[in-house]
Structure 1
Amino acid sequence: MSAYLFNQENEPDESDSITLYDEAGRPLDCYVENSLEKNDVQYLLLTPVDIPVVIIVWDDNEDDDEGVILLDDEEEISRIFADAKAVLAELDLSLKYTAYTLTVSGELPPIEDEDILTLEIEGKDPDGKAQEEELQLLTSFYHEEEQYNIYTPWERVLFLARVASDTEVELVDPDDDDLKSILEELIEELLFEDDD
């Protein structure tokens, strides 16, 4: 559920924004990047206002990508959150425990080639190839002798939502086969606009 501040009669721009809420009531402010109406349902392509980040640990018993563990357990994130926030503050970045993804506000440090991590992620693209995601290392820290690494995705993080009422939207699963064509159409329109 979310507060819905989008005017359907206008084309979306960066002034159009909504706030998504997760089940715990945490907010995530998003820009409306694009919208599309299909079968009398309004769909929105959203991107977070702040910069999404992920926390990664490595399983010492595995090699390369096999050993990468994306931290998504809320209890563990809460346990290390203060340390992560403190180390990011040293980079003038403010860590926020937002809905669906952790985010930071502030200016990212310059990109160094050695700070880029390329991961193969589950699932395949339409050509049958494994998908890759590039992440930029922001910083590392230790908590109880375990090393944690904070990365930000190289590409924009996008969410697909559907308008549920005049005042609410709901996040939809982008892996839903019925919605893949809608997501692809929204992304194609967005990319086309970026090329103009």
Structure 2
Amino acid sequence: MSSYLFSQENEPDEADSVTLRDEAGRTLDCYIENSLDFDDATYLLLMPVDIPIVIIAWEDEADSEEEDDAEAVLLEDNEEIELIFADAKAVLEELNLSLKYTAYTLTVSGELPPIEDEDILTLELDEAEEGLEPEELQFLASFYHQEQRYSIYTPLAPLLFLAKSNVRGDIELVTPEEERMQYILEELLFEEGD
């Protein structure tokens, strides 16, 4: 069982996908889960083709090997990711997963191992952000780099992006914080659930 709701037998065809590009020139292929025409623009709800992953550094674990006693720090700094990328790629290859340095999120291709209850980490998000639910992550692998312990996880909930297609057909990400975008996001999510 994988973290994603679709199987390879019923994946959308390539006409239902787009490629996002970040400022560094990295790309991320995404399926178009839903679209909505609104105010002379087309808004898209996108989900990565490959499986998103996160890397967590464990802080303050000198006294304990238990993750419960250590603070989880989500790696978001590109320089630090580049330093450990080769090690992360090597440990994931042992699981027959291929790590990719894609735009907006790291991804892997391959088949995820079955989900085991003891392999689920519940990540409490920033308490300052009200209304955010804790995120559940599936453990994939751990490794050390220069005596620092890292773990690789994949989110159990699908990672979705909100994007806008302009008149030239270029795709750009939009943030859902603005009130108008909240309406569009709700419409895209509601239609997808039907």
Trace 1:79-158 onto structure 2 (pairs within 5 A): 79-122=83-126, 123-125=129-131, 130-158=132-160
* 1:51–1:78 Cα change, 3 Å: same
TM-score where L is the length of structure 1: 0.84
CA distance in 1, matches of 2:168, 2:32: 16
TM-score where L is the length of structure 2: 0.85
Q: Alignment partner of 1:124: what SS?
A: coil
What runs of 5+ residues in structure 2 fail to find an aligned partner? 1-10, 62-66
Q: Alignment partner of 2:30: what SS?
A: strand
The superposition leaves residues 47-67 of structure 1 with CA deviations (integer Å, 9 ceiling, x where unpaired) of: 000000000012217x95992
* 1:58–1:177 Cα change, 3 Å: farther
2:161 counterpart residue number: 159
The superposition leaves residues 109-132 of structure 1 with CA deviations (integer Å, 9 ceiling, x where unpaired) of: 11111110112223233xxxx411
Amino acid of the structure 1 residue aligned with 2:12: E
Contact 1:162 1:172 in 2 (8 A): yes
Contact 2:58 2:148 in 1 (8 A): no
Q: Alignment partner of 2:47: what SS?
A: strand
Amino acid of the structure 1 residue aligned with 2:78: E
The superposition leaves residues 104-155 of structure 1 with CA deviations (integer Å, 9 ceiling, x where unpaired) of: 0000011111110112223233xxxx41110000000010011100000001
- How far the C-alpha of 1:21 sits from its partner, in A, is 0.4
Amino acid of the structure 1 residue aligned with 2:83: R
- Are residues 1:18 and 2:24 paired? no
1:7 counterpart residue number: none
Larger strand fraction of residues: 1
Identity %: 62
Deviation beyond 6 Å, 4+ runs, structure 1: none
CA distance in 2, matches of 1:148, 1:176: 35
Moved more, 167-176 or 68-77: 167-176
* 1:185–1:24 Cα change, 3 Å: same
Question: Which of the pair has the greater relative contact order for Cα pairs under 8 Å at 6+ separation?
Answer: 2
- How far the C-alpha of 1:178 sits from its partner, in A, is 2.7
What runs of 5+ residues in structure 1 fail to find an aligned partner? 1-12
2:58 counterpart residue number: 58
Amino acid of the structure 1 residue aligned with 2:130: K
Contact 1:65 1:120 in 2 (8 A): no
Q: Alignment partner of 1:109: what SS?
A: coil
Amino acid of the structure 1 residue aligned with 2:36: L
- Are residues 1:29 and 2:29 paired? yes
1:77 counterpart residue number: 81
CA distance in 2, matches of 1:139, 1:158: 24
CA distance in 1, matches of 2:161, 2:146: 34
